[in-house]
Structure 1
């Protein structure tokens, strides 16, 4: 159609093209239930009133299905969620859609298999109970999907490093001494998650019964993933929208029946949703349209709707999500545009405005802006800066996951020193600045702490440059409307000797404005330079911008 409209082909080729329109539909990132053509078709039929919202049911199998999880997988991918689809009929198109949905879920919800990895198997080629455990590499032998020969776990990584599609997933297990395996009762390997399935249990067009497993580091995401596959392809089961559950038995004694097809109910207020959207709808109208959006809704009273959220709608977390569906069903283009009832004038926040002005001055002086992390280590903020550890000043992080993030920074200089070290191979002088917040404890605040906007700069070269940093400090202060103290300017700024341990003695000074200390500048102490791995002199300044806001 596009080629015909744009006339980009010759007449004969244009006549051979189809006139069938092709629709491109953009889906919201949180609507996983619309990722397959099957689930999208069901949603469209329900919206058009051609069918009621489907009800997904778990039916008991003749023989219970079990998945036994070993303690050995706790360090790799500790969770698994399973399900069985019975009496499925595939066509070439639906089979392709089945594979495509798994790929889309892997890329989006599963975050490229880092959170969840899905495997699907021909149930008739394996038998339960199934096992999920981690096995030493040398004990693994199986024929992977699309391969002809048996592959041993010892050369598994080397083999798939040449595979352009699968090599990007190897980092998740390549350093592990044991690989996770899904096996059946006869120890037949079904999959090595999160990389590849076994050829033995591969799905084909003739497959009738499907065993689905999702190994994960996030159990909730695994349940969401399995539910989406079930919702889409239980449509092709002989008994539509049914699934057989699997009991997952963990090593600690916990037993979970999966998939979880339970619904959740919430109450929504009609007047709040009307006010939020800007419409005037009654409870009956809202309930009818929510049902069209796959949310079974009933009127509880004139101002309350009870909404039953199906297992496929993981995006519905709060009343505001229901309100969004009401707005979509109503039609965004049908909402009457009107001016807001309140009159307000927007303007730049004072801290942001001042910070922008200071950044411009630093940049025009030839300095490059650095953006360092707000969290830091005790070592950087205290030990390397030759200061005593002061927990009364610093906001500490409870149970830090890494020693690099133990506290909120109390100065911008440690971050700039680390940036100088990382930039040491660049031509000198290295001129860096940062305008950002530090966090300090403050018992007068509700949170017990406060943010303080500061500006800092460093100058690194083959020789110290105290005059350069002094001049930069003077320039910034004058730009802030603060002239040097004199008889004509008694309220101006002045400098005084300083004894900060991070700076060289006798080569540092504090800056005062109206009797309040607002900054410091000087030559960084050689021991600080050595601690940060910087082999050249560094001159630095730091200024508190709060008094100037």
Structure 2
């Protein structure tokens, strides 16, 4: 999860004079986990559903409400700048959406510049999915001029000096030579043209989502900034800009809007007007387990930095600030009432429910499988269904395909739901490579496939996978192992050739099994040396995976 570090003095500078001990008690109540602290600084981990709290300004705003120092909807006026952004039609098939803001009277002295950069990178991860969905650029507004242009350029045109570089490079050269270019080249590699943001004089401001230009580099002396947010999801793009503008507005930044001129419409950004949603007192009381009236609910919502109007004894109309992108349902407002009521004050109750437990039929066969695997000398491991594209595809030398993504991942290595068990087994071997060899591990677990025929659009499949690691592990051993497993489980086995990039070519096979109770399919073989190296293993690995049909 995102972690921010700030000094107690930072809160004092923002008008909050609170003792360290009280602060440490309060922060977990706001949806955070304190990682570490000393006499001067505190390191706090915030849940990704509250990206507005990933800056010291956002933390300060929430704290002021919780301790009733400032309550109600914050007001961040937005003036018109008179500036425009023109959108090239060719960009719509690459990275089609953009939002702009001009913010004047900013302060980057001391640690502020680093804090803003950290805030930007945290948003890149939490909302932007590592820049794939949303990317942010922050520029010195005093060295560029409106109108701005968002264009698609050929790979060898519009060379510019990228940030932290001495020489001008073409967009193609940036993707091949610059550190940021090579890291994020995959985001643009399938396109024939690349996005650029230019100013009135055709100076390159940015190559989203890769790198900003050196021309607009921020320094401690920068006083006015342009913020651009580009992406593939217009809602996420605008939400991200609102969070950034609100953070600067909290410390006196003067926010000005720009006119975004698409081919078929005109949009003004940012739009910091609040959303409206109703909440019912009886719903809040029932879900939380408390007994409050509409007036008390209004007070608690004010502490959550929202304005509300009492419609009747049981209903309130709530104004939700634009930076609160986590408020999607009435239940989210109830959660905020509970937080401000104080979670520690809510008494737990044992539900008045009687149940009779039975073993789930989905897991009945697992006991037999475990007995077989343990009898063959394997040890069982259990891993999370969540993994990452890097571990699941890149490190396994597999091509990324359709899969279930986590919309708001808690950690960067848990961004998707697995379709295979093998990478988890290799991660386990990596974590335990200091242990004695041989190592023989297996896992019985569920995976998820996209299936649009299902009501939920996904299909759950049970799999069994195993891996063996030692100095002489080879194809003959894993073939013998899979044959023993299937025979003991009552399957008739057939094998044929396979081309699986995770394994050594010629030392991998597909396997099928039939039995009166159902069929299986899968594969087994010697893991490729490149995959072994990707997981920092030092000895040969053989593995198998079968799917129960």
- The question of a shared fold, defined as TM-score above 0.5 by the shorter chain, is answered with yes
1:455–1:544 Cα contact (<8 Å) kept: no
Query: Cα–Cα, structure 1 residues 277 and 168, in superposed 2: closer, same or farther, change >3 Å?
Result: same
1:455–1:542 Cα contact (<8 Å) kept: no
Partner in structure 2 of residue 481 of structure 1: none
- Tell me, in whole angstroms, the C-alpha distance in 2 between the residues paired with 1:169 and 1:521: 47
Which of the numbers 239, 246, 262 marks the counterpart of 1:224? Answer: 239
Compute the displacement of 1:23 (Å).
3.5
Partner in structure 2 of residue 480 of structure 1: none
Query: Cα–Cα, structure 1 residues 404 and 30, in superposed 2: closer, same or farther, change >3 Å?
Result: closer
- Tell me, in whole angstroms, the C-alpha distance in 2 between the residues paired with 1:184 and 1:137: 19
2:148 paired with 1:148: no
Which of the numbers 175, 182, 201 marks the counterpart of 2:216? Answer: 201
- Tell me, in whole angstroms, the C-alpha distance in 2 between the residues paired with 1:28 and 1:433: 30
Partner in structure 1 of residue 369 of structure 2: 358
Which of the numbers 180, 185, 191 marks the counterpart of 2:200? Answer: 185
Task: Report how many aligned residue pairs link the two structures.
Answer: 421
1:137–1:178 Cα contact (<8 Å) kept: yes
Query: Cα–Cα, structure 1 residues 179 and 336, in superposed 2: closer, same or farther, change >3 Å?
Result: same
Unpaired stretches in structure 1, ≥5 consecutive residues? 2-17, 372-401, 407-414, 417-430, 478-519
SS of the residue corresponding to residue 139 of structure 1 reads coil
Partner in structure 2 of residue 249 of structure 1: 261
- Tell me, in whole angstroms, the C-alpha distance in 1 between the residues paired with 2:127 and 2:78: 24
- Tell me, in whole angstroms, the C-alpha distance in 2 between the residues paired with 1:103 and 1:254: 31
Partner in structure 1 of residue 70 of structure 2: 51
Compute the displacement of 1:126 (Å).
1.3
Which of the numbers 22, 27, 36 marks the counterpart of 2:55? Answer: 36
- Tell me, in whole angstroms, the C-alpha distance in 2 between the residues paired with 1:449 and 1:311: 33
- 1:80-99 equivalences in 2 (<5 Å): 80-99=98-117
Structure 1 window deviating more from structure 2 (142-151 vs 32-41): it is 142-151
2:363 paired with 1:344: no
- Tell me, in whole angstroms, the C-alpha distance in 2 between the residues paired with 1:433 and 1:38: 45
2:372–2:485 Cα contact (<8 Å) kept: no
Of structures 1 and 2, the larger Rg is shown by 1
Structure 1 window deviating more from structure 2 (281-290 vs 447-456): it is 447-456
SS of the residue corresponding to residue 114 of structure 1 reads coil
- 1:275-290 equivalences in 2 (<5 Å): 275-290=286-301
Deviations 1:82-114, CA, capped at 9 Å, x for gaps = 111133344323333222211221232222212
Query: Cα–Cα, structure 1 residues 205 and 236, in superposed 2: closer, same or farther, change >3 Å?
Result: farther
- 1:335-484 equivalences in 2 (<5 Å): 335-361=346-372, 364-365=375-376, 476=489
Query: Cα–Cα, structure 1 residues 20 and 272, in superposed 2: closer, same or farther, change >3 Å?
Result: same
1:76–1:180 Cα contact (<8 Å) kept: yes
SS of the residue corresponding to residue 244 of structure 1 reads strand
- Tell me, in whole angstroms, the C-alpha distance in 2 between the residues paired with 1:32 and 1:352: 38
Partner in structure 2 of residue 521 of structure 1: 492
Deviations 1:35-75, CA, capped at 9 Å, x for gaps = 111121122122222223312332223xx221111122233
Q: Report the TM-score when normalising by structure 2.
A: 0.65
Query: Cα–Cα, structure 1 residues 69 and 157, in superposed 2: closer, same or farther, change >3 Å?
Result: same
- Tell me, in whole angstroms, the C-alpha distance in 1 between the residues paired with 2:457 and 2:59: 50
Unpaired stretches in structure 2, ≥5 consecutive residues? 1-6, 8-36, 383-398, 404-419, 422-440, 467-473, 519-549
2:104–2:225 Cα contact (<8 Å) kept: yes
Query: Cα–Cα, structure 1 residues 266 and 538, in superposed 2: closer, same or farther, change >3 Å?
Result: closer
Deviations 1:132-170, CA, capped at 9 Å, x for gaps = 112123222222223333334453234314xxx664223
Partner in structure 1 of residue 513 of structure 2: 541
1:298–1:307 Cα contact (<8 Å) kept: yes
Query: Which protein is richer in strand relative to its size?
Result: 2
Query: Cα–Cα, structure 1 residues 301 and 139, in superposed 2: closer, same or farther, change >3 Å?
Result: same
Query: Cα–Cα, structure 1 residues 539 and 342, in superposed 2: closer, same or farther, change >3 Å?
Result: closer
SS of the residue corresponding to residue 151 of structure 1 reads coil
Structure 1 window deviating more from structure 2 (307-316 vs 122-131): it is 122-131
Query: Cα–Cα, structure 1 residues 304 and 452, in superposed 2: closer, same or farther, change >3 Å?
Result: same
- Tell me, in whole angstroms, the C-alpha distance in 2 between the residues paired with 1:535 and 1:20: 59
- Tell me, in whole angstroms, the C-alpha distance in 2 between the residues paired with 1:340 and 1:67: 57
Partner in structure 1 of residue 388 of structure 2: none
SS of the residue corresponding to residue 369 of structure 2 reads helix
Compute the displacement of 1:33 (Å).
0.8
Query: Cα–Cα, structure 1 residues 344 and 200, in superposed 2: closer, same or farther, change >3 Å?
Result: same
Compute the displacement of 1:545 (Å).
4.9
Partner in structure 1 of residue 280 of structure 2: 269
2:273 paired with 1:302: no
Compute the displacement of 1:544 (Å).
6.2
SS of the residue corresponding to residue 234 of structure 1 reads helix
